[in-house]
Amino acid sequence: MGLGAISVRGATKIYNPDEAAIVALDGCSMEIGPGEFCVLVGPSGCGKTTLLNAIAGFHDLTGGTILLDGEELSSPGKPAKPGADRIVVFQNGALFPWMTILENVTFGPLAQGRLAPDQAKKEALDMLETMGLSGIASDYPGRVSSGMRRRAEIARAMMNRPKVLLLDEPFRAMDALTKTMAHQFLLEVYDRTKPTVFFITHDLDEAIFLASKVYVMTTRPAAIKKVLEVDLPRPRNYKLLASPQYQALRQECQEAVREEALKAFTAGEREM
Amino acid sequence: MIRLAINRQLKKIAKTVRSKTLRRGVISIAGFFIIWELCARFKVPVLGTVPSPTEVLRCLADQITEAYYWHSWGSSMVRILTGFAIAQLLGVPLGLLLGFSRKAREIIFPLIELMRPVPPLAWVPVSVIFWPSAEMSMIFVTFLGAFFTVVLNIVEGIAAIDERYLRAASSLGAGKSDIFWHVMLPASLPSVLVGMTVGMGITWCVVVAAEMIATNTGLGYLTWRGYVAGEFPMIVVGMLSIGLAGYLSSGLIRRIGLIFTPWLESR
């Protein structure tokens, strides 16, 4: 069994190939090592989510290919298929509102037929316990806080022991304090099992604090502009934010993103 | 603890009782009855022909001791429930089929769109001719009243399911049947229930009208008989009874719905 190395090779995605084509991805290539915490930053609408959806198997590529541990996930002519080895945590949260937190968390292993109901329940309760969510196991998602929901969603994803965890701006709508807690928690989960993480955000502090590598994307069509190695020690904690090393990375990242954001802005002006 | 909770409830009630909103509501309703009574007493033109609230109350008090009155309730209820139940039995599966299968939608939907604009009541003459008994024809129009509402609500409910849930489910490794039973069905359940509640309301409209035309039992007929016999208080008693019956049945549907959708209950 592989460890979750993702190779994106010349990935191209064109929406509406016939009419006014929108090129979302244009020959985007990246190699993500197994167990790497990879964070993508870039201007809004640059194609980050398109790339995530292609890795997740939600839509097909127009050109190029994506490999997971050497096996082709998606390429033109091969219809994309989602799989439990790559779990997505969505921007707006996608816990099923009609299931309790516990039922949500056991959904994956039961749907795959990987665990018997008793076993799934036991594992799920353990998982919720370690995430500090045992108190809400029998609540519906609508009745718990957004921070808890997001944690429960990550718990639901981790129950499948995915090789890859795909997160699309999962903490976007959170206030600063809740966000801090969510980071701490996500890193704990990551340090425990080291899945490959593919994380999209606009928040540069979040990006550097979490990542092993930050990938700065260009404006649409998206390609990788710059890769920053974040060799800050793990486990990470908030004292790092004050270190000169962090500040330097932050600066470098900021400049790269700013350049692209400006390009996107002037391009937008021209389109007007 | 319990005493505290009770105290809090009492305070809430006291606050409601003292609130301006409640006072205004009471004034409005009391005012309505007083004006009604006065109009009837002083034989105000047009309005004065309506029986006064006291007459209606007296008539109601008589009626609730009569077997015939309760028999009318029973007949209408049986028609409603039979028509409604058949509408659910056929409408829910059809709605689900149309919601999930594009092919089915393209074949069957035009037909539904053709039939739907015809109000259920316009079906009364045809169904009286078509069905062997008056009872069956009334159940049929009752059925029609609920059927289209239910089907359309399910189709809309399924179309409105958030893509995220479907993606999440397939990402978690769910197959087609898991997605159907554990995602699409529960996700569309709230709109199914809305369809049922609205359908129940329509059912009462339809059955009352049908009873006035096609039969000699039921609350609709009771009201109509009051008119024919010139017993005006009886008409109002019939109207009130129909209103109450409709209210009770919709409330029942909503209650049953809550059992099936516990996640919608507010905290």
What's the mean pLDDT in A183-195? Answer: 88
Which residue in A49, A98, A158 has the most chain B C-beta atoms within 10 A of its own C-beta, making it the best mutation to test that interface?
Answer: A98
For tokens 């707006």, the residue is A92
The answer to whether A96 contacts B165, with C-beta atoms less than 8 Å apart, is yes
Q: For residue B183, what is the nearest residue in chain A, using CA coordinates?
A: A96
Q: What distance in Å separates the CA atoms of residue B136 and residue B124, rounded to the nearest whole number?
A: 11
The answer to whether A156 faces chain B, any CB pair under 8 Å, is yes
Q: What distance in Å separates the CA atoms of residue B119 and residue B134, rounded to the nearest whole number?
A: 19
Nearest to B178 among A82, A94, A111 (CB): A111
Q: What is the pLDDT of residue B1?
A: 60
Nearest-Cα distance to chain A for B265, in Å, is 10
Nearest to B168 among A57, A88, A98 (CB): A88
**Looking at chain A from residue 105 to 144, which residues have their Cβ under 8 Å from any Cβ of chain B?**
107-108, 111-112, 140-143
Q: What is the pLDDT of residue A179?
A: 87
Q: What is the pLDDT of residue B78?
A: 94
| CATH number of the structural domain B51-266 | 1.10.3720.10
pLDDT, tens digit, 9 for 90 and up, residues A21-50: 788 888 888 899 999 999 999 877 778 888
Q: Which residues of chain B have pLDDT under 50?
A: 267
CA distances from B204 to A166, B67, B250 (A): 52, 22, 10
Nearest-Cα distance to chain B for A94, in Å, is 6
Burial level of A48, CB count in 10 A (0-12/13-18/19+)? Answer: buried
- Which residues, in sequence order, are bridge partners of residue A37? A197
The answer to whether A46 faces chain B, any CB pair under 8 Å, is no
The answer to whether B173 contacts A142, with C-beta atoms less than 8 Å apart, is no
pLDDT, tens digit, 9 for 90 and up, residues A140-161: 999 998 888 988 999 999 898 8
Assessment of whether the complete model's pTM goes beyond 0.80: no
Q: What is the pLDDT of residue A199?
A: 94
CB count within 10 Å of CB A137 equals 18
The answer to whether B54 faces chain A, any CB pair under 8 Å, is no
Helix (H) or strand (E) holding B74: helix B67-100
Q: What is the pLDDT of residue B266?
A: 61
The answer to whether B28 faces chain A, any CB pair under 8 Å, is no
Q: How many CB pairs under 8 A join A and B?
A: 66
Handedness of CA A80, A83, A89, A94 (dihedral sign): positive
CB count within 10 Å of CB B32 equals 11
Evaluate whether A41 touches A168 at the Cβ level (below 8 Å).
no
Q: What is the pLDDT of residue B83?
A: 94
What is the b/e burial string over B144-162, where b = at least 16 CB atoms within 10 angstroms of the residue's CB? bbbbbbbbbbbbebbeebe
Q: What are phi and psi of A31, to 5 degrees?
A: -115, 120
Contacting residues of B for A56, CB less than 8 Å apart: 167, 171
Nearest to B263 among A57, A86, A140 (CB): A140
The answer to whether A84 contacts B168, with C-beta atoms less than 8 Å apart, is no
The answer to whether B169 contacts A140, with C-beta atoms less than 8 Å apart, is no
Among the residue ranges A60-64, A99-103, A211-215, the one predicted with the least confidence is: A60-64
The answer to whether B231 faces chain A, any CB pair under 8 Å, is no
* Summary mean pLDDT of chain A: 86
CB count within 10 Å of CB B22 equals 12
The answer to whether A88 contacts B167, with C-beta atoms less than 8 Å apart, is yes
The answer to whether B96 faces chain A, any CB pair under 8 Å, is no
Contacting residues of A for B166, CB less than 8 Å apart: none
Q: For residue A160, what is the nearest residue in chain B, using CA coordinates?
A: B172
A254 contacts: CB under 8 Å, gap ≥ 6: A204
Helix (H) or strand (E) holding A168: strand A164-168
The answer to whether B172 contacts A97, with C-beta atoms less than 8 Å apart, is no
What is the b/e burial string over B62-81, where b = at least 16 CB atoms within 10 angstroms of the residue's CB? ebeeeeebeebbebbbebbe
CB count within 10 Å of CB B123 equals 20
Place A269 in a pLDDT band, splitting at 50, 70 and 90: low
Contacting residues of B for A90, CB less than 8 Å apart: 164, 167-168
pLDDT, tens digit, 9 for 90 and up, residues A192-216: 888 999 999 988 889 999 999 999 9
Evaluate whether A62 touches A13 at the Cβ level (below 8 Å).
yes
- Which residues, in sequence order, are bridge partners of residue A8? A30, A66
Which ipTM was obtained for this model? Answer: 0.82
Q: What is the pLDDT of residue B85?
A: 94
Range list of H helices, B101-184: 102-115, 124-130, 134-159, 163-171, 176-178
CB count within 10 Å of CB B267 equals 6
Nearest to A111 among B167, B174, B187 (CB): B174
Is residue A76 scored above 90 in pLDDT?
A: no
The answer to whether B169 contacts A107, with C-beta atoms less than 8 Å apart, is yes
Q: For residue B166, what is the nearest residue in chain A, using CA coordinates?
A: A94
Handedness of CA A23, A28, A32, A36 (dihedral sign): negative
Specify the amino acid at residue B43: K
| DSSP type of residue A218 | P
HSE on the CB side for B162, CA within 13 Å?
Answer: 13
Is residue A270 scored above 70 in pLDDT?
A: no
Q: What is the pLDDT of residue B15?
A: 81
Which residue in B161, B163, B164, B171 has the most chain A C-beta atoms within 10 A of its own C-beta, making it the best mutation to test that interface?
Answer: B171
The answer to whether A58 contacts B167, with C-beta atoms less than 8 Å apart, is yes
Nearest to B171 among A56, A92, A99 (CB): A56
- Parallel/antiparallel/unpaired status of strands A224-229 and A71-74: unpaired
Contacting residues of B for A92, CB less than 8 Å apart: 164
Q: What is the pLDDT of residue A272?
A: 44
Nearest to A201 by CA among A212, A186, A217, A187: A217
Nearest to A160 among B170, B173, B178 (CB): B173
